[in-house]
Amino acid sequence: MRHFVGFIVGLALAPVLMLGTGWTLPRFVGLEETGHSLATVDGAVALGAATVVGLLVALVLVPPRLTPLLPGIAGLALIGFTAVQVLRPALVERVPALPGVEGAVTLLSIGAYLPLGLALFVPMLAPSRWAGKEREQGVTEDEYFDGLYDEDYEEQQTGAAHRRTARA
C-alpha cells in the first residue's frame, strides 16, 4: 500500500516542484532587475518559497522509511517533462496558465529540471532503499553470550574456585 501511495504522491510532487520553482524564478529575476536585495519583503518571500521547495525535495530524498517510488516517480516525471520540451515543444505551449507556469516553462526550456529529476530518480535504483524493516539476526545478545561458554566448564571453574578458597 505504501508503494501505491508513494506512486500517487510522486506523480503529484513533480508539478508542485515545477510550479514552486516556476513561481520563484520571476521574483528572483525581478529582484535582480530592480537592484533590490533579498533583505526586502519581496526578496524574503521569494527566498522563503525557494526554501520550502528545497526542504520538500530534501524531505522526499532523505528519509529511508519512505517508499523509493515517491522520489523516483517525481524524478521520472521531471525527466519526462524535459524530454517533452526537447522532442515536442509545441505541447508545452498548451499548458494552462497557472501561477508559476511561465517560470516553469522557462526553467524547462533551459533544462533545469533534468538534474533535479536525476537526483530524485537515481536513489530509486539503490537496492538498500527497497529493503524492508531490518529483521532480527536470529540470535539475541543474551543468547549469544550464553552460547559462548559451556555450562559444565563454568561449573567446574566455580567448583575449583570454592575448593581453593576453602583450603586457604
Q: Please write the tens of the pLDDT for every residue from 72-93.
A: 888 999 999 899 888 888 887 7
Q: Which amino acid is at 22?
A: G
Q: Which amino acid is at 93?
A: E
Q: Are 105 and 42 in contact (CB under 8 A)?
A: no
pLDDT in tens, 21-80: 888 888 888 888 888 777 788 888 888 888 998 888 888 887 767 788 888 888 999 999
Q: Answer yes or no: is pLDDT of 165 > 60.
A: yes
Domain ranges of the chain: 2-130
* φ and ψ of 140, to 5 deg: -80, 170
CA distance 47 to 106: 19
